[in-house]
C-alpha cells in the first residue's frame, strides 16, 4: 500500500514538474512533498535554477562566449531555450569539474543543464530509466552512474547507442585517445554487434601502494602475490608504524570496507579482485563469476574459497584506506584502494606525515639515509598459481596456461616501466628500489595479475527515449567534458573520483606535475594506469547483471561478514553463497541473466540449439515448441535401417571420402586464388588510401622543440598538422608546401635519439635543403615527418594503423633525407652509422617506398664525413636505390627474437605496400612503351634492376623461426609467391583497378601518357605530390589535358576552366597554412578550390 501511494504521489509530482519545465514557470510547490522526496530525493534538486547562460548586451540581443578550448566547433546560441536534466551523484566530491564545464557550455550554446543529485548512484538511474516491463520516471535526459549497472538498461533497449555519435564527433572526442580497457568497460554486445552505450569518465581499479621505509627497515621484499601480502599484513599489524608511541597500527588498509558510506554495499568486490587472479587467465571475455554457458555460480570452486580466506585474514589485520587519515598519517604499511583514494597523498606537499597539536610535522617516513620517501605505487597483486577448470585443481602459471602473466621482477617494477617508454627521469627512483629492497624469492616465476574494474568506475549514459534535441545537447555536454580539451586538466587538478581514462591525461605528464605531483608519484601512477587499462593486461570486469546488489551486498557481503566473525565456516559460507546466487538467478530469469552476463563480457548469446541442450526446462517454459525441432524421435528406426544397409554404406563411405578429398583440394585451390586476388586488390588500394592520417610538424615548431618530441605531446599541444586522406595530401603539396621525410634508426632501445646527434643532423639538413631549393627563410611552407613525432607512441593499436600507412607517408614526401651520422648506441657497445642504417629492413623499406614513386632526385644523405668528422648533407647517387631494393634481406628485431610471442614476421606486413608500388611502376613503363613515351628512362632503370634480381627483391618464400609450446620450429612461409607475375598479367590485360576513397573503382590504365599522382607535370617520374619551390615561384604551371586528383581522372572541357584553375591556384598557394584539427582545416579550402576548378567526373 505504501508503495502504491508513493508511486501515485511521485506521478503527480512528475507531471507537475514536466509541465513546469514546458511552461518555464517557477518550481511547483508540490515538489517539496515529503512523500515524493522519499521516493526520489533528487526531484527538488532537478528543479533548481542556474544562472542564465547568455548575456543581454543592452540592445535586447544576447551574446555568447565560445572562445574556450573545446567550444570552437559550436554555433553560438545553438541550444538557446533547450533545458536538459542531468542526474549526478555527490557532484562536489565525485565530479566537481562537471558544473564548471556545464556553465561554460551554457554560456556558449544558450542551453541550460539542470543538475540533480541521486541518493544512490547505482539504483536511482535505473529507477528513472525503467525496465522493459515497467515504465520509468523518465525525469532525466542524462545520467552519471556506475558502469556495473548500465548493461541492465542496455539489455532492455533503454540506453542510447553512441557508436555513430562517436564517429561524427571524433574530431573533438578523439576516441583513439581513450585507453583500451576503458572503452571495453562501456561496451555491450547485442544482436551480433558491439555497442558503445556508456561513455566512461573513469579508469577505476584497485591499486596497491606500500611504505618503502618499512620494507627497508625490516628487510622485506616487495610483495607480488596475495600470499605475500597476507604475510606482510600479519607482520606489520599491531606495530608502531609512525613513531607515535602506540603499537596499534595496521598491516593492511583498504577501501571499500564496511562503514564506507556510499560504498558500503560494495566492499565484497575487494574479494572479487583477489578471486579474479586465481580464476581468470585469458582476459575479460573469460570471466569468473559464472559458467558462461550454464550460468552456474563458480562460488563453490577453490578460487573463490581461497580469496575468501585471504580477505578474512586481511580484514582482521586491516582498517579503512581511503575515507580516514589512516594512510596519510602513517598508520598503514600497505594500501589497496582505487587510484582516487591516493590522490590526496600525492597532491599533499607534505605527503605521508604526522603533526603535533601545533600543526608542526614531527614525523615523515624516511630511509636509513635520512631521505623522506613517498609510498611506492605498483601493479595489483596476483597469483603464481591458477585454478584449472578442467581438472579442478590449482596449477602453477606458465606462459601457455596464463598467457597474460608476467615474470616476477627481482626488485620493484622499474624494468617494466622502462619498457613502456616513460621519461628517463625515473632512474633515481629505480636506484632507490635497487639499493633498499632484497630480491623477491619468486623472481622469474609467472604471476597472473588481474586489475579489477570495480563498481566505482563511473561514466555517463543518455536516455534513448529523450527528445532528439535534448539528447544532442546532453551528448555535446558529454563530449565537451570527456574530450582532451578539458579533461586533461580536470583529471589532474580536481580532487575527484575520476581517474585517468585517456592517454593524453597520462602523457607527457605536465598536467600532473603542474598540479603538484612529484616526478616519482607521477611516473608510478602513469605506469600502473597505462598497463592496467591496456590491451595487454588481464583486466577483470565486475559482475554486471540485474539484481547486482542482491548478489554482492545481500549475499556475499552478509555471509563474508559471518565468516569473518567465525559464525560460519568457509565451506558453509561458500555453499550458502552458491545457493543464494542460484536463487537470485532463477528469480530474475536464468536465461535473461545468462544473456546479459555474456553480453557484458562481449560474448554473443548462446545458439538456440545450445540453449535447448543446456537449459531445456527454461526454454520450454518460454515456448515449448522451440526445442522440439531438435528432438530425435526416429533414432530406433534409423538404427534398423542403417544396420540393414551397412554393407552398401561402407562402399558409399569410401566413395564419399574420395569425393570429399577432391572437393577439399578444389576448395584449397579456390581459397588460394581468392587470397592472391585479395592481396593484389589490397596492394592497389593501399596506394590510394591512408589507414591513419598523415601527421606533420611545421619546421618552425620542429626547430623550436630542441629535440625529437613525442607524438602525443605534440598532439596535445596542437602542434601537428593533420591530413586525413590523399586528397588533402595532394592539395597540401599543390599549395606549395614542402614535406621533408626524415628516415633514421633508433639509437637506444627506449628512446629514438638520446644524445640528440640525429636531431642536430636533421636541423642541418633542413637548412641545407632550404639553401639548395630556395625555400622561404620564414619556413612557413616547410613541414617535417619523423617517426617519433608523427606516429602514435602510446597506443599500440593506433600505432599499427600508422605503420600500415608508412609506404604512403614516405612516397608523399617532397624530400627524403637519410639521417645516419656516426652515433654511439646507448644500450649496445656499437656505433650506429650509414652501414647499420642500411642493414635495417624498415629503413630500406622507407627508401624504396619513396624512390619507387619519386625517383632519387629529392633524396639526400645526412652522414658523417669520415675525414672531417662533420655531418654533411649531400644528394644520393643515382644508383643509391640498388642496395635498398633488397628490402627483404634487411635485419629485423622480430627475427632476432625468433618471433617469440608473435603471430607473424614484419616481412609479411610489407608485401602489400611494396607490391602496390611495383604495380604502379610496371604500369608506368607498360603504358609508356605502348604510347611510345620516350621519357621513362628512370622507371625502366628501376625495373631492369628488379628483373635482374627478382627472386632476391621479391622472395617467393622465406625461412621463419617460431616458438610453439616451448619448441623452436623452422618453417618455410609464403611471401610473394607468384604475386609479381600476377600483377604483370593484370596490367598487361588492362585489369588493374584502383579502389577510390569515395567508392567505386577506376582503371589505372590511362588513355593518355602516364602522369605523376598529384603533380601537374608528367615528365621524369611517378611522383606523388612532389614539386620544387622553383616551379612554384614561377606561378601555376599549364595544367595538362588530364589531371589525376584523388585517384579520379578529370577531363578539361573549356578554356574558362583553365582560367579558373589559374585564379584558384594563386589563392591556395598563398593561404593554405597552419592546418590542424581545431576548426576547419584550410587544406579543405584548398581541396575545395581544386575541386571547383574542374568539371565533375
At 474-524, the pLDDT tens digits run 999 999 999 999 999 998 888 788 999 999 999 888 888 888 888 888 888
pLDDT of the residue at 284? 92
pLDDT, average across residues 386-405: 92
Lowest mean pLDDT across 39-53, 206-220, 318-332: 39-53
pLDDT, average across residues 708-715: 91
Lowest mean pLDDT across 240-244, 338-342, 469-473, 986-990: 986-990
Q: Quick check: 293 pLDDT over 50? A: yes
pLDDT, average across residues 81-92: 95
Q: What percent of the chain has pLDDT over 70?
A: 80
pLDDT of the residue at 429? 76
Query: What's the pLDDT band for 23 if we cut at 50, 70, 90?
Result: very low
Q: Quick check: 1036 pLDDT over 80? A: no
Residues 945-958: pLDDT tens digits? Answer: 788 888 888 898 98
pLDDT of the residue at 281? 96
CA distance 859 to 881: 10
pLDDT, average across residues 75-103: 95
3-state secondary structure of 742: strand
Cβ atoms of 160 and 483 within 8 Å: the answer is no
The region that residue 412 occupies, defined by phi over 0 for left and psi between -120 and 50 for alpha, beta otherwise, is left
Q: Quick check: 413 pLDDT over 80? A: no
pLDDT of the residue at 493? 81
pLDDT of the residue at 970? 86
CA quadruple 923, 925, 929, 931: dihedral, nearest 10? 60
pLDDT of the residue at 886? 82
Which stretch of DSSP H or E encloses residue 1041?
A: none
Task: For the chain, give the mean pLDDT.
Answer: 80
pLDDT, average across residues 322-349: 90
Query: What's the pLDDT band for 260 if we cut at 50, 70, 90?
Result: low
pLDDT, average across residues 239-256: 95
Q: Quick check: 705 pLDDT over 70? A: yes
Residues in CB range of 856: below 8 A, 6 or more apart: 875, 876, 877, 878, 880, 881
CA distance 522 to 540: 24
Q: Quick check: 174 pLDDT over 80? A: yes
Q: Which residue has the cell 543543464?
A: 113
pLDDT of the residue at 150? 94
pLDDT of the residue at 553? 92
| Phi and psi at residue 344, to the nearest 5° | -60, -35
Residues 618-663: pLDDT tens digits? Answer: 999 999 988 988 775 555 555 555 666 776 767 787 777 777 777 7
Lowest mean pLDDT across 179-183, 274-278, 536-540, 918-922: 918-922
pLDDT of the residue at 416? 40
| Phi and psi at residue 956, to the nearest 5° | -70, -40
Lowest mean pLDDT across 527-541, 742-756, 872-886, 1038-1052: 1038-1052
Q: Quick check: 235 pLDDT over 90? A: yes
Cβ atoms of 407 and 444 within 8 Å: the answer is yes
Cβ atoms of 941 and 836 within 8 Å: the answer is no
pLDDT of the residue at 1015? 35
Q: Quick check: 1014 pLDDT over 90? A: no
Q: Quick check: 252 pLDDT over 80? A: yes
Please give the C-alpha separations between residue 107 and each of 56, 219, 493, in angstroms, as whole numbers: 12, 59, 23
Query: What's the pLDDT band for 938 if we cut at 50, 70, 90?
Result: low
**If DSSP states are collapsed to H, E and C, what string results for 827-844?**
CCCCEECHHHHHHEHHHH
pLDDT of the residue at 358? 93
pLDDT of the residue at 17? 54
pLDDT of the residue at 974? 87
Alpha helices in 949-1053 (DSSP H): 950-953, 979-988, 1029-1033
CA distance 250 to 115: 40
Q: Which residue has the cell 570429399?
A: 660
CA distance 886 to 951: 10
Q: Quick check: 198 pLDDT over 90? A: yes
Q: What percent of the chain has pLDDT over 90?
A: 48
DSSP letter, residue 710: P
- Top pLDDT among 506 and 45 is at 506
CA distance 21 to 138: 14
| Phi and psi at residue 395, to the nearest 5° | -135, 160
**If DSSP states are collapsed to H, E and C, what string results for 325-363?**
CCCCCCCEEEEEECHHHHHHHHHCCCCCCEECCCCCEEE
Cβ atoms of 138 and 443 within 8 Å: the answer is no
- Top pLDDT among 456 and 46 is at 456
DSSP string, 98-162: HHHHHHHHHHHH--EEEEEE-S-TTTHHHHHHB-SSSB-----SEEEEETTTHHHHHHTT-BPP-
Residues 862-913: pLDDT tens digits? Answer: 999 888 888 999 999 877 777 778 888 888 878 877 887 777 888 887 888 7
Cβ atoms of 371 and 405 within 8 Å: the answer is no
Q: Quick check: 1082 pLDDT over 60? A: no
Residues in CB range of 391: below 8 A, 6 or more apart: none
pLDDT of the residue at 25? 40
Q: At what angle do helices 97-109 and 468-482 cross, to 10 degrees?
A: 120
Q: How many CA atoms lie within 13 A of 473 on its CB side?
A: 27
| Phi and psi at residue 733, to the nearest 5° | -70, -40
pLDDT, average across residues 307-323: 94
Cβ atoms of 286 and 276 within 8 Å: the answer is no
pLDDT of the residue at 643? 65
The top-scoring range by mean pLDDT among 155-169, 655-669, 726-740, 847-861 is: 155-169
pLDDT of the residue at 41? 41
- Top pLDDT among 1006 and 269 is at 269
- Burial class from Cβ neighbours inside 10 Å (0-12, 13-18, 19+) for residue 798 reads middle
- Top pLDDT among 201 and 1088 is at 201
pLDDT of the residue at 842? 83
Q: Quick check: 860 pLDDT over 50? A: yes
Q: Quick check: 39 pLDDT over 90? A: no
Q: Which residue has the cell 577439399?
A: 664
Query: What's the pLDDT band for 13 if we cut at 50, 70, 90?
Result: low
Q: Quick check: 675 pLDDT over 90? A: no
Which stretch of DSSP H or E encloses residue 862?
A: strand 859-864
The region that residue 189 occupies, defined by phi over 0 for left and psi between -120 and 50 for alpha, beta otherwise, is beta
pLDDT of the residue at 632? 59
Residues in CB range of 259: below 8 A, 6 or more apart: 320
Amino acid at each position: 500500500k505504501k508503495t502504491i501511494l508513493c508511486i501515485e504521489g511521485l506521478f503527480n509530482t512528475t507531471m507537475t514538474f514536466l509541465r513546469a519545465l514546458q511552461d518555464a514557470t517557477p518550481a511547483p510547490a508540490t515538489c517539496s512533498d515529503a512523500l515524493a522526496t522519499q521516493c526520489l530525493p533528487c526531484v527538488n534538486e532537478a528543479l533548481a535554477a542556474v544562472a542564465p547562460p547568455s548575456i543581454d548586451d543592452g540592445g535586447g540581443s544576447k551574446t555568447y562566449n565560445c572562445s574556450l578550448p573545446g567550444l570552437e566547433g559550436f554555433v553560438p546560441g545553438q541550444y538557446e531555450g533547450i533545458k536538459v536534466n542531468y542526474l549526478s551523484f555527490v557532484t562536489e566530491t565525485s565530479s566537481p569539474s562537471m558544473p564548471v564545464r556545464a556553465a561554460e557550455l551554457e554560456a556558449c550554446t544558450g542551453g541550460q543543464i539542470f543538475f540533480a543529485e541521486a541518493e544512490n548512484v547505482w539504483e536511482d538511474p535505473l529507477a528513472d530509466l525503467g525496465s522493459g516491463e515497467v515504465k520509468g520516471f523518465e525525469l532525466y535526459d542524462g545520467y552519471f552512474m556506475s558502469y556495473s549497472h548500465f548493461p541492465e538498461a542496455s539489455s532492455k533497449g533503454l540506453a542510447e547507442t553512441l557508436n555513430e555519435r562517436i564517429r561524427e564527433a571524433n574530431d573533438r572526442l578523439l576516441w583513439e585517445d581513450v585507453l583500451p580497457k576503458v572503452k571495453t568497460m562501456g561496451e555491450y554486445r547485442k544482436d551480433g554487434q558491439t555497442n558503445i552505450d556508456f561513455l566512461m569518465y573513469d579508469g577505476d581499479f584497485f591499486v596497491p601502494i606500500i611504505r618503502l621505509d618499512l620494507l627497508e627497515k625490516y628487510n622485506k621484499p616487495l610483495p607480488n602475490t596475495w600470499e605475500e601480502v597476507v604475510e606482510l599484513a600479519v607482520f606489520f599489524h599491531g606495530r608502531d608504524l609512525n613513531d607515535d608511541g602506540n603499537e596499534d597500527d595496521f598491516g593492511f588498509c583498504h577501501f571499500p570496507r564496511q562503514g564506507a558510506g556510499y560504498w558500503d554495499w560494495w566492499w565484497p568486490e575487494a574479494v572479487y579482485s583477489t578471486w579474479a587472479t586465481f580464476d581468470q587467465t585469458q582476459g575479460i571475455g573469460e570471466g569468473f563469476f559464472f559458467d558462461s554457458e550454464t550460468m552456474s555460480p563458480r562460488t563453490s570452486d577453490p578460487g573463490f574459497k581461497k580469496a575468501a580466506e585471504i580477505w578474512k585474514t586481511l580484514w582482521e589485520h586491516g582498517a579503512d584506506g581511503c575515507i580516514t587519515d589512516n594512510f596519510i598519517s602513517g598508520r598503514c604499511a600497505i594500501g589497496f584502494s582505487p587510484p582516487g583514494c591516493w590522490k590526496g597523498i600525492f597532491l599533499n606537499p607534505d605527503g605521508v606525515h604526522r603533526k603535533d597539536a601545533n600543526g608542526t610535522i614531527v614525523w615523515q617516513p624516511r630511509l636509513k639515509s635520512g631521505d623522506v620517501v613517498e609510498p611506492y605505487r605498483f601493479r595489483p597483486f596476483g597469483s603464481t598459481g591458477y585454478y584449472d577448470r578442467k581438472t579442478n585443481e590449482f596449477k602453477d602459471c606458465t606462459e601457455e596456461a596464463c598467457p597474460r602473466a608476467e615474470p616476477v621482477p627481482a626488485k620493484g617494477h622499474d624494468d617494466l616501466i622502462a619498457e613502456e617508454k616513460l621519461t628517463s627521469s625515473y632512474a633515481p627512483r629505480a636506484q632507490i628500489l635497487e639499493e633498499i629492497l632484497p630480491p623477491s624469492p619468486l623472481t622469474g616465476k609467472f604471476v597472473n595479475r588481474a586489475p579489477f574494474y570495480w563498481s566505482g568506475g563511473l561514466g555517463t549514459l543518455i536516455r534513448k527515449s529523450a527528445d532528439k534535441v535534448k539528447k544532442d545537447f546532453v551528448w555535446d555536454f558529454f563530449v565537451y567534458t570527456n574530450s582532451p580539451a578539458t579533461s586533461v586538466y580536470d583529471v589532474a587538478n580536481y580532487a575527484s573520483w575520476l581517474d585517468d581514462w585517456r592517454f593524453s591525461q597520462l602523457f607527457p605528464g605536465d598536467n600532473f606535475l603542474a598540479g603538484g605531483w612529484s616526478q616519482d608519484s607521477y611516473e608510478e601512477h602513469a605506469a600502473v594506469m597505462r598497463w592496467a587499462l591496456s590491451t595487454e593486461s588481464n583486466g577483470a570486469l565486475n559482475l554486471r547483471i540485474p539484481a547486482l546488489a542482491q548478489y554482492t551486498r545481500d549475499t556475499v557481503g552478509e555471509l563474508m561478514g559471518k565468516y569473518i566473525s567465525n559464525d560460519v565456516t568457509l565451506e558453509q559460507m561458500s555453499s550458502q553463497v552458491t545457493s543464494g546466487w542460484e536463487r537470485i538467478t532463477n528469480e530474475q530469469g536464468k536465461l535473461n541473466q545468462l544473456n546479459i552476463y555474456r553480453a557484458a563480457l562481449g560474448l554473443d548469446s548462446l545458439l538456440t540449439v545450445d540453449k535447448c541442450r543446456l537449459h531445456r526446462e527454461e526454454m520450454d517454459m518460454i515456448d515449448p515448441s522451440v526445442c522440439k525441432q531438435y528432438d530425435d524421435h526416429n533414432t530406433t528406426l534409423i538404427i534398423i535401417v542403417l544396420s540393414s544397409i551397412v554393407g552398401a554404406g561402407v562402399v558409399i563411405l569410401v566413395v564419399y571420402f574420395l569425393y570429399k578429398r577432391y572437393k577439399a583440394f578444389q576448395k584449397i585451390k579456390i581459397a588460394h586464388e581468392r587470397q592472391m586476388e585479395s592481396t593484389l586488390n589490397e596492394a592497389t588500394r593501399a596506394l590510394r588510401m591512408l589507414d591513419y592520417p598523415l601527421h606533420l610538424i611545421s619546421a618552425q615548431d620542429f626547430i623550436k622543440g630542441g629535440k625529437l618530441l613525442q607524438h602525443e605531446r605534440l598532439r596535445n599541444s596542437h602542434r601537428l598538422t593533420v591530413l586525413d586522406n590523399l586528397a588533402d595530401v595532394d592539395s597540401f603539396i599543390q599549395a606549395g608546401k614542402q614535406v621533408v621525410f626524415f628516415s633514421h634508426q633508433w639509437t637506444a632501445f627506449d628512446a629514438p635519439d638520446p644524445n640528440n646527434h640525429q636531431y642536430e643532423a636533421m636541423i642541418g639538413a633542413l637548412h641545407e635543403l632550404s639553401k639548395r631549393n630556395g625555400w622561404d627563410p620564414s619556413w612557413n611552407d616547410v613541414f617535417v615527418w619523423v617517426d617519433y613525432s608523427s606516429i602514435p607512441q602510446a597506443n599500440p593499436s593506433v600505432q599499427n594503423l600508422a605503420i600500415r600507412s608508412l609506404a604512403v607517408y614516405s612516397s608523399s614526401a617532397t624530400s627524403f633525407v637519410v639521417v645516419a651520422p656516426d652515433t654511439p648506441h646507448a644500450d649496445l657497445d656499437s656505433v650506429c652509422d650509414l652501414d647499420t642504417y642500411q642493414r635495417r629492413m624498415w629503413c630500406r623499406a622507407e627508401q624504396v617506398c619513396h624512390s619507387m614513386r619519386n625517383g632519387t632526385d629529392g633524396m639526400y644523405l645526412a652522414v658523417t664525413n669520415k675525414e672531417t668528422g662533420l655531418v654533411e648533407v649531400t644528394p644520393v647517387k643515382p644508383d643509391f636505390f640498388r642496395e635498398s631494393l633488397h628490402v627483404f634481406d634487411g635485419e629485423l628485431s622480430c627475427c632476432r627474437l625468433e618471433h617469440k610471442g608473435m603471430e607473424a614476421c614484419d616481412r609479411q606486413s610489407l608485401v602489400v605496400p611494396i607490391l602496390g608500388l611495383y604495380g604502379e611502376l610496371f604500369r608506368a613503363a607498360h603504358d609508356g612503351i605502348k604510347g611510345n613515351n620516350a621519357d621513362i628512362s628512370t622507371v625502366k632503370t628501376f625495373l631492369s634492376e628488379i628483373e635482374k634480381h627478382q627472386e632476391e627483391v621479391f622472395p617467393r618464400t622465406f625461412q621463419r623461426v617460431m616458438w610453439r609450446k616451448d619448441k623452436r620450429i623452422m618453417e618455410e612461409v609464403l611471401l610473394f609467391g607468384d604475386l609479381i607475375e600476377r600483377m604483370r598479367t593484370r596490367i598487361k590485360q588492362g585489369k588493374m583497378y584502383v579502389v577510390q576513397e569515395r567508392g567505386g573503382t577506376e582503371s589505372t590504365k590511362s588513355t593518355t601518357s602516364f602522369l605523376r599522382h598529384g603533380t601537374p607535370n608528367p615528365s621524369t617520374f611517378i611522383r606523388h605530390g612532389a614539386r620544387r619551390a622553383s616551379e612554384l615561384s614561377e606561378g601555376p604551371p599549364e595544367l595538362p589535358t588530364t589531371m589525376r586528383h584523388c585517384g579520379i581522372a578529370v577531363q578539361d572541357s573549356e578554356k574558362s576552366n583553365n582560367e579558373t584553375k589559374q585564379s584558384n591556384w594563386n589563392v591556395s598557394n598563398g593561404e593554405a597554412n597552419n592546418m590542424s584539427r581545431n576548426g576547419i582545416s584550410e587544406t579543405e579550402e584548398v581541396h575545395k578550390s581544386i575541386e571547383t576548378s574542374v568539371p565533375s567526373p
